[in-house]
Structure 1
Amino acid sequence: MRSDLEILAPVGSFESLRAAVQNGANAVYLGGKDFSARASAANFGRDELEEAVKYCHIRGVRLFVTANTIIKQNEVEDFIEYMRFLYNIDVDAVIVQDIGMAMLIKKLMPDFELHASTQMAAHSIEDVKYLKSIGFKRVVLARELTIEEIEYICKNVDVDIEVFVHGALCVCYSGECLMSSMIGNRSGNRGRCAQPCRQKYILEDEETGKIIETEGEYILSPRDLNTVEEIGRIVDAGVLSLKIEGRMKRPEYVATVVSVYRDAVERYINGEKSIVTPEEINELYTIFNRKFTRGYILDEVGLEIMNSEKPNNRGLYIGTVESYNRKSKRLKIKLENNLKKGDGINLGGGTIGRILKGNNICEEGYKGETIEIDFIGDAYIGQKVFKTSDNDLIEKARKTFDENSENVKIPLFMNFEVKIGKPPVLKVYDEDGSSVHVYGDKEAEKAIKVALSSEKAETQLKKLGNTPYKAEYIECSIDDDATIPVSMINSMRREAVERISAERVKINDRKYKFTDISYKSEPRSEEYNSYSTDEKKIRVKLKNLEQLKAVVDFDIDKIYYEDIYTFEAAKDICESNNKKIIYSAPRIMRNDDYRVFEKLEGVITEQDDVLVSSWGEIKYFTEKFGCGIRADWSLNTFNGESAEFMRKSGIKSVCLSQELNIGEIDELEEFTDIETEVCIYGYTPLMISEYCPMGVLVRDCHKEKRCSDCRKIKYSLVDSSGNRYRLSQNEFCRTTIYNSEPTMILNNIEDIENTDTDVFRLDFTIESGELTREVVKAHIEAIEENMYSADKIYERFDNITTGHFYRGVE
């Protein structure tokens, strides 16, 4: 295998850890009890974490800890204390999302390896270059990227690249989803996603009220990724790490998937024609799938990505129902795959008892046969039957990670020296540079009868039994007439194994230990903040010229404008009205998408600013246009450290995360001097996705992009409670799903006025020009303590929400 290639396995428990390591993973990722983006997984306590590091390092496996949630201000000190613990127990790397915390780790523990979580939404070479420039050793790319994009990044950036190759997909770009947060108060950015994408929705034409017919009701639910049959393409792209998703899955899943991928990769590297067997494919289907897709990474799109029929395990297709006799309670199945006694199927639950072939009772039915089983429930002719569990597969997987199993054997090299009159010495070393010398507790003597032979010594030294080691090479230097007790050789061997294990645990040679690492959050002094004033500014973010013309005459501090195709015209309008306009860049910009920014050449100058929404845009606009940079809320600024990172990077202002409550906003303000904005009005974008329900479900769009058609008609998703989520399409054929009701706190605006927030921002998306004008007017008057328009504006909406201002997220 390519020496640097990594199979990275998910670990949710110690059993899963053994399953991953014993089936060939050479790196694992897991979460502790705190700060992990899978808060509902079992996760590891501190003692377990320390044992996990020892277990992995002894067996030559790297261990990464996920701390990939955004961190509240009052959690910062606890977070750093936790990082110090991970650092001191020799965790190999930490996976983070929060930019402020990443920079703190880099400052306090410079040699602690940082991985940029997929939650950081790195979806372009510009993103990767930026993250590398600020200290990340590895970047986990967004799951939406194609193999061609990934290969281009790998060839042009000197940083470790990690990609997902198997497991669950999100319909939204990771780190950009607020749907669970806004609907159910469970934040995906805080590791508590309630998976609203796995719920039922209908698609409705807003103008006609027509319900769009779909094959299933789970129209936001993606299939599971499975790239094993073309894993060679991903290996050849130059990625370092092949990542398997599944920290919530059982250890048998981990064992099965890791084993199949490890074998497939090894076969590909060795040049074998067939890299995966039909039996292995069946094992992947049986252990868990929501239907499989090769994913965006291998060029599948639309319905090839989605499974609207069922949001949970589908199982392995084994055949169809030929008949069902309710009287005899016999179900006849035409098999297209094997079925055994004890297997589970998707009809009625439970497991298969006897299998009948005519009058014969059998243990197993084979592909091509027609069998009968005892069955109570509902079934119809032609119904597809799926195997959802397989006892033999589960048992096979369990055997690989039994507590006494040691499938991974580390080669040891031994030099054994026995000289008469001196204590024997055993030198043991491994391929990684660890070595130990063990001395016998007595001197070697001259043999009276039988001397110790090299063959006898080697036989004893090879007895490594149920340890993670094998004797690769043994060199013996023994005096001709020397002898020592066999028990001494055994004792020396055991001591050498214990000591080499201890050496292998501490592999990172950390420079900053224990009391060397300290941190305490210190609020700024009152005179430090150069921005905060009692007078609050209003800024608006607009999508089109209609909205702009409706508000350009108001007393607005600055206008953010999204449409690049009409930006030049918008700038002319603003200059005529003595207003400052700032281009607002899209949240997702893939490699080739950056070419659209050529339209801004000659329009944006060094005197202008740009509102950026991704990490790569910071680098791009600074270098390409030399303009000022302002950071939008999608960069998830959640604490003062993140805000201060922005300020020290030369960024002029930052819009705070929409998941903060008023108290948390106020607390954050004490720890930064950057100009801060808070969105106090708008239909919050809940998701941004490569999947287009309008194009796929309405127009059967495949790879061609016809988003202009999709934008002509207004569509909404409607959930089981009747909430309507408007959809919109941008120029790159990406779909945004907006909240069903706008966030607005006009009636309580004094609460946010009492914080040190500098700017109130109003974000307009689907509103008409007329409504945009009314909303801006109401907010201006509310700040001036004239609530007449504010009271009237509430009548324009069926429902409103105060967002997270009074609740926040867990």
Structure 2
Amino acid sequence: MAKHPEKITPPEILSPVGNYDSLLGAIGGGTDAVYLGVGEFNARQGASNFTPEEMENAIDLAHLHGISVYLAFNVPLKETELQDAIDVIDRAYATGIDAVIMRDFGFIDLVKKNYPDLPIHGSTQLNTNNTETVKFLEKLGLSRIIVARELDTAELKHIIDSTDMEIEIFAHGALCYSYSGQCLFSSFAANRSANRGACAQPCRWEFELYINGKNMNHHIGGVSPISCAELCTLPGLEELINTGIKSLKIEGRMKRAEYVTASSEIYRETAELICQDKRPDPSWLQERENDLAKLFYRGFTRGFVLGDRNVTHPEYSSSYGAFLGKTRRVKRSKNAASIKVKLNQTLEVNDGISIHTRQRMLGSKVERLTVDGGEVEVAEKGSIPYIHISPKTVKSVKTGDDVYLNTDVSLLEEMSERDVKKVPVNFQIRANIGRQLEITASAADIEVLYVSDYLVQRPKKAPTSVEQITDIIKRLGDTPYIADEIELKGEEDIFVPLGELTRARRSVVEKLQEKQLESFHRQPINPKIPAVKHKTANRIPGKLLLSVEVADIEGAKAAADSGADIIYIPGNIFGTVEDNRELVLKIKKKNIEIVFTLPAIIHEKELEEWTDILEKIKSRGYTVGCGEPGTLHLAHQMEINCVALKNFTVFNSLTANVLQENGASRVILSPELTLEETKNVVQTSGNGVQFEAIAYGRQQLLVTEHDLLKPIVDKGFYDENSNAFLQHKKIDRYPVKRWRNRTVIYDSHVINMLNNIDDMKNTGINVLRLEFPQESNQKVASVVSEFRKILDGKSKKNIPHSKVYSKGLYYSGI
């Protein structure tokens, strides 16, 4: 075990707060900081979230308990939302928010310019995988980055050692199957944007995996092949802390308050033990992990960060609890049923259990427990009771079925009864006859004085006793305070009405609270953003250019022969392109712009390879297409003409302008925008940048670090020429490709706007984009030719109706 310096400061424990109860739960769990969202401007629209007024109260309450508050504002913003968004930021700023978690480059820039003293944390949605991305975000003015969940500890430490910025990671909770910020699955499958916080969780759906027409689900473990297990880094927390991480983030703004309390408390206690150079006992750690499983569990993974390459749990995609045991015997009758189980943990009457039958997972309440024929309220770990459950549930249960504890009533009660630690306050009461009543309250290094209008009297009957005064002062109710020391100064034989004492106590406590919050509160800025203006007549180009993205040399030739103005080619085949004299000469003769594209996922160990390719691209005078901030930063430094690919999720003109300032001469807009929203961006952006929008193509829905096809590859059932797809409900087929041991999933439909070119032109874009990630050269040639003819006015041919084709989100939106 590595030795730590004595009493090293533990990393911050950052807890999820989806509502006010969760906030109290986080405080009760001893968290250091919380993050919360307001309305729809955050990546958890399914959480209760806070109104602006509730946000202000939550910030004040947390600050009174010494807890930092970060506002999650981690979604791309539409042009028409910018004013409402900045108004929310303004209220949070004035109330004293400690930081804002953001992902929209344009909005980051706007907030930084208007609130230079407000810390901004880069969301994990920014997909930070390498040091060049860190440099780019540092240039934007960020103070902290929540790095990608896919980094391992060596990569994490390398990034931490390379920057003065704070680095935060997710340590516990739900995992996205896709790299965050790069998922379009929910948008195109359910018209709900994951990038905008409304994910329908299609990765939790049931799928059948087919390779060359054969069902392969039995090779990958279940019917939910892309459903992730829950991240739990508790056993490897020391390894994470050794990287120098600043903050450990717990996911779960949609989970119950007891989950927030328990996870906050368990990770805080464990981190403190490690940082005090005390090895947490393995059995203690196992018990803590069991407690976490009882509150939410769909299998645990240590995550990519701790070297777990298989993060999925394909057998079952919902929470089902901690393992309790296997059924040894099943009894059933018309009105009663029970199962006999040797318990892996303690079980009580009214707890909830899940039983994994051959058909499905079943749930039931524990109605009774019997051991050796006698009823008990609690059956201890290691005992073999009969668990009496609903007769309806037991119909499908067989001997040998796994049983899980999914609701531990005692644990829930214990967590819900955690006291919210209150702030100790010292009081001094000065009461002298004929003089005004005075009360001083002090907490930490703040002291306030309240002087009442009431003049202390001589008692006409019974005096006001010390006990009465002390009792009134102690009544602090639902305030965040608790009376510590109470000192009385003055004469003993006095009279003060108890109501006056109550008013004085209430007034001094309010004054203390105001004084404590004074250091957090700021003056609002009230920035105003110009309304969206459409300059249609000035911003519609006379001629649309046609760009074509292909996968290989033959596709590039087909595109060049069929009328492409711009061809996008994968950067990793740069050498092959340069060696193909026929293609190079054809490109030069037809004055076609070539753009070599770089991936949206580049880890540090891959960065050198792509930097070398950038050097070659520069030497030959080509354009580069960048899909992530690190390579955009490099290309800008190297003065290479650059296109910002759609992976930047451009939703507004501010982001387009930031990308232009950082070297992008052309920006590909997000396919999640409607045509009207596209028009808003184009007409409001600064001059000088071109806009490109997708008119044809099967969209890449996600890319994941998980190697879904590895078991199939290892058994020899898949190679690069294989046809693989995930099928959902025997209707939608989602093509799957393996790329560098990562998995890429494509949409079941193909966007085709051939009949709607005029609608696209009226948005003011400059370039129509056609994408062919895996189509044949014949398909490339035929589709490009049809678009070329219409753009040149030589054809008005309409495409026939096809279930494969769609209009994407251009008319429906998200």
Superposed pair shares fold, TM > 0.5: yes
Residues 78 and 446 (structure 1), Cα distance of their counterparts in 2 relative to 1, 3 Å cut: closer
After superposition, the Cα gap between the structure-2 partners of 1:329 and 1:427, relative to the gap in structure 1 and judged at 3 Å, is closer
1:399 counterpart (404, 417, 421): 417
TM-fit CA distance, 1:437: 3.2
For 2:566 and 2:427, the matched residues in 1 are separated by 73
TM-fit CA distance, 1:769: 2.1
Identity %: 28
Displacement, 1:123?
2.1
Note the residue ranges of structure 1 that are not aligned, 5 or more in a row. Answer: 702-707
Say which of 297, 314, 321 aligns to 1:308.
314
* Contact 1:582–1:609 (Cα < 8 Å) also in 2: yes
For residue 4 of structure 2, what is the aligned residue in structure 1?
A: none
Aligned residue in 2 for 1:93: 99
> Hey, what does 2:83 align to over in structure 1?
77
Match of 1:657 among 670, 673, 692: 670
Kindly provide the amino acid, as one letter, of the partner of residue 518 in structure 1: K
Distance 2:812 2:793 in 1: 25
Equivalent residue in structure 2 for 1:761, among 769, 788, 795: 769
Decide whether aligned partners of structure 1 residues 602 and 271 sit closer, same or farther in structure 2, where only a CA change above 3 A counts. closer
**CA pair 510-617 structure 1, distance change in 2 beyond 3 A:** farther
Aligned counterpart in structure 1 of residue 732 of structure 2, from 713, 723, 746? 723
Distance 2:121 2:508 in 1: 35
Is residue 10–residue 275 contact of structure 2 (8 Å, CA) maintained in 1?
Answer: no
Q: Residues of 1 paired with 2:22 and 2:492: CA distance?
A: 51
Amino acid at match of 2:81: E
Task: Give, in whole Å, the separation in 1 of the partners of 2:263 and 2:126.
Answer: 26
Cα distance, 1:784 vs structure 2: 1.8
Cα displacement (A) at 1:527: 8.6
Alignment of 1:130-529 (within 5 A): 130-206=136-212, 213-274=219-280, 276-302=284-310, 305-327=311-333, 329-347=337-355, 348-375=362-389, 376=391, 377=394, 378-400=396-418, 405=419, 407-412=420-425, 428-431=441-444, 434-439=446-451, 467-469=479-481, 494-513=506-525, 516-521=526-531, 523=533
Structure 1: how far apart are the matches of 2:696 and 2:798?
12
Deviation of 1:469 after TM superposition, in Å, equals 3.6
**1:658-807 maps to which residues of 2 (within 5 A)?**
658-672=671-685, 673=687, 674-699=689-714, 710-731=719-740, 733-787=741-795, 791=799, 799-807=804-812
Aligned position for 2:40: 34
Question: 1:744 is aligned with what amino acid?
Answer: N
Shift of 1:608: 3.5
Which residue of the partner structure matches residue 58 of structure 1?
64
| Contact 2:423/2:480 (<8 A) preserved | yes
Partners in 2 of 1:337 and 1:511 — Cα distance?
Answer: 54
Q: Kindly indicate whether the alpha-carbon contact (under 8 Å) linking 1:221 and 1:306 is maintained by their aligned counterparts in 2.
A: yes
Alignment root-mean-square deviation, CA: 3.4
SS at match of 1:539: strand
Question: What letter is aligned with 1:802?
Answer: K
Counterparts of 2:293 and 2:385, CA distance in 1: 22
The corresponding residue for 1:705 is none
Report matched runs for 1:12-51 at 5 Å.
12-51=18-57
Q: Deviations over 1:147-182 (max 9, x none)?
A: 222222122212122211111001001110001101
Residues 782 and 790 in structure 1, CA contact (< 8 A), matched pair in contact too: no
Inter-CA distance 490–583: structure 2 relative to 1 (3 Å threshold): same
Q: Distance in 2 between matches of 1:15 and 1:490?
A: 29
Cα distance in 2 for partners of 1:561, 1:426 equals 76
Q: Which runs of 5+ in 2 are unaligned?
A: 1-6, 356-361
Distance in 1 (alpha carbons) for counterparts of 2:723 and 2:481 = 64
Amino acid at match of 1:335: L
Contact 2:735 2:748 (8 Å CA) reproduced: yes
How far 1:85 moved relative to its partner?
2.5
Paired with 1:692 and 1:668, the residues of 2 have a C-alpha distance of 37
Contact 2:94 2:521 survives alignment (8 Å): no
| Secondary structure of 2:684's aligned partner | coil
Shift of 1:547: 1.2
Deviations 1:553-574 (A, max 9, x none): 4443222211414445347645
- Contact 1:543-1:563 at 8 Å conserved across structures: no
Cα drift, residue 50 of structure 1? 2.0
Aligned: 1:5 with 2:25? no
SS across alignment from 1:170:
coil
Distance in 1 (CA, whole Å) between partners of 2:580 and 2:594 is: 9
Which piece of structure 1 moves more, 67-76 or 244-253?
67-76
**Deviations 1:30-49 (CA, angstroms, capped at 9, x unpaired):** 12223222112211123222
Mean Cα displacement is larger for which, 690-699 or 140-149? 690-699
Deviation at 1:107, TM superposition (A): 2.2
Does the aligned pair in 2 maintain the 1:162–1:242 contact within 8 Å? yes
Of residues 560, 564, 569 in structure 1, which corresponds to 2:572? 564
SS in 2 for 1:163: strand
Q: Which amino acid aligns with 1:668?
A: V
Q: C-alpha deviations, 1:491-541, integer Å up to 9, x for none?
A: 66554332221223343353544xx43222353767975xx5211111122
Q: Give me the TM-score of the superposition, normalised by structure 1.
A: 0.89
Pick which of 410-419 and 684-693 moved more. 410-419
SS in structure 1 of the partner of residue 664 of structure 2: coil
CA contact (8 A) 1:93 1:112 kept: yes
Cα deviation, 1:52-96, whole Å, max 9, x if unaligned, reads 122111111122222222222222222222222222333322222
How far apart, in 2, do the equivalents of 1:248 and 1:601 lie?
43
| Separation of aligned partners in 2, 1:429 and 1:518 | 41
Q: Counterpart amino acid of 1:517? A: P
Whole-angstrom CA distance in 1 between matches of 2:263 and 2:312: 21
2:55 partner SS: helix
Counterparts in 2 of 1:420 and 1:224: CA distance versus 1, 3 Å: same
- Structure 1 residue 614 displacement after superposition: 0.8
Local SS of the residue matching 2:178? coil
Equivalent of residue 612 in structure 1, options 626, 636, 639? 626
Q: Find the counterpart in structure 1 of residue 3 from structure 2.
A: none
| Counterpart contact for 1:212–1:698, Cα < 8 Å | no
Q: Distance in 2 between matches of 1:201 and 1:385?
A: 25
